[in-house]
Amino acid sequence: MRLRDEQKELLVRTKALELLVAEGFNGFSMHKLAKAANVSPATLYIYFQNKEDLIMQLGIEVGQKIQEVTFEDFDFEESFEAGLWKQWKNRAKYVLENPISAAFIEQFRNSPYKKKLGEEYFQEFRINMTKFLKSAIKKGELIPLPKEVFWTLAFAPLYQLIHFAQDGHNMAGEPFELTEDVMYLTFKQVIKSLQP
């Protein structure tokens, strides 16, 4: 039995993410990955059982990283506004610095693979967000809203700004760069919609 090579495995995972984003889940194949990573197709099966296993492993890996980054340097005792701003900065930084991983996780979230992963995978993230939101409501810093409404108001504007930044232009075709000032201006409007 062949041994795992950590450098080779990292290369394979990196190339897999690139190919999955470029080709989509249906256009991706283990053969294409082997060619892109310059390894034998048999080498891939040292690391993954099959295409589905590879996609699931990458979904877990990237999803966990995003969850970690979201709560990086996070203090559940700080104000709702400060905590949400920290999440905005953490999320924006991750997505802008890791565009391939961010594009992959969007594909993953909108695929049948997410359902196969199971709800327990997201449990820790949900627990942390619920703790944060309940504390903010209790302190009178957040109006009680259905989760879907909160999520839409709290994060959709951020992700739209990120899309403009990734495109390099706004919806009118004018050049756009996401600065902290623009992000904060948007954030302050979001906060107004969420606070009593």
Domain at 62-194, CATH homologous superfamily: Tetracycline Repressor, domain 2 (1.10.357.10)
**Structure tokens belonging to residue 152:** 């839409």
CATH 1.10.10.60 range(s) for the chain read: 1-48
Q: Would the pLDDT of 2 be above 70?
A: no
- In this structure, which amino acid lies at residue 65? K
Q: What are the two backbone dihedrals, phi and then psi, of residue 191, each rounded to the nearest 5 degrees?
A: -60, -40
Position 115 confidence tier, pLDDT thresholds 50, 70, 90: confident
Which tokens go with 119? 């709800």
Cα separation, 72 vs 57, in Å, equals 22
Angle at 68 between CA 66 and CA 69, to 5 degrees: 65
Residue 140's SS3 state is coil
Which is nearest to 191 in space by CA: 57, 61, 88, 63? 88
User: What ranges make up the beta strands (E) of 9-66?
Assistant: none
pLDDT > 70 in the chain, percent: 96
pLDDT score at 116 = 83
Question: CATH number for the 1-48 domain, one of 3.40.47.10, 1.10.260.40, 1.10.10.60, 2.60.40.420?
Answer: 1.10.10.60
pTM value is: 0.89
